[in-house]
A and B are shown apart, each in its own frame.
Chain A
């Protein structure tokens, strides 16, 4: 099966840097995504990692270590509008011979305070 773990909640200060961790277990790993979801809205795509290393996109960066089953999302220069849930999601097989599918973690609710 698949298992994705991330902290439930985090709080950080405006202008600071925050790192949201994600660990996963899956069969047939084929990529990891981070999505942002504001309250009452749809998830929106932030980043994609399939190889080990760091992917940078503006204030947001995402890191992947496939051997450790570990990823993190790094948010720099935090702004109030970054208060949202951040969802880690993995492409893998539900079971050994099953089809590939994108499975989401339960999300980390980030609160940015002044």
Chain B
């Protein structure tokens, strides 16, 4: 298996522009998570899906952020409009279960810079 695949690896955009991050989870994993990592706040859970259905989006910062999972093999995280404070590394992760002993598998992340 190729693991969790994220694109793009790096994104530099201007304030106010729309940004779309993409994720392909591991086949067979029922859970998909979007995390954001910054030096100040560490890894924060933004939203997670179970069988393509959003379960908890309480970590989404504000209405500028939205996430979709149209099918079991694809998810997007969209920021519109983007702001400099959104600059961070965004990780997608997937797993068989929420609290399974095998842990979550993370993608390589998207490093977003908003200027």
Contacts and interface: CB of A to CB of B under 8 A. Distances in A.
Interface of A: 30-31, 33, 35, 41-46, 48, 50, 87, 91, 94, 98-107
B70 interface: no
Contact of B99 (A91, A98, A107): A91
B25 interface: no
Interface stretch (B11-19, B40-48, B61-69, B78-86): B40-48
Contacts of A105: 42
B42 A101 contact: no
B43 A43 contact: yes
Given A43-B43, A98-B56, A103-B45, A91 B98 contact: yes
B108 A104 contact: no
Interface of B: 33, 35, 41-45, 48, 55-56, 58, 91, 98-99, 101-109
B106 A43 contact: yes
Nearest to A94: B58
Contact of A41 (B43, B45, B104, B108): B108
B103 A35 contact: yes
Nearest 9 pairs of A and B residues by beta carbon:
A45-B103, A106-B42, A42-B106, A104-B43, A48-B101, A99-B56, A91-B99, A31-B99, A30-B99
Given A50-B101, A91-B98, A100-B98, A44 B42 contact: no
A76 to B, nearest CB: 21
A30 B99 CA distance: 7
Contacts of B104: 45, 102
B44 to A, nearest CB: 8
9 contacts: A33-B103, A35-B103, A45-B102, A45-B105, A87-B43, A91-B99, A101-B45, A101-B48, A101-B98
Contacts of A41: 108
Contacts of B56: 94, 98-99, 101
Contact of B108 (A42, A87, A106): A42
Given A42-B91, A94-B58, A105-B42, A100 B106 contact: no
A48 B97 CA distance: 13
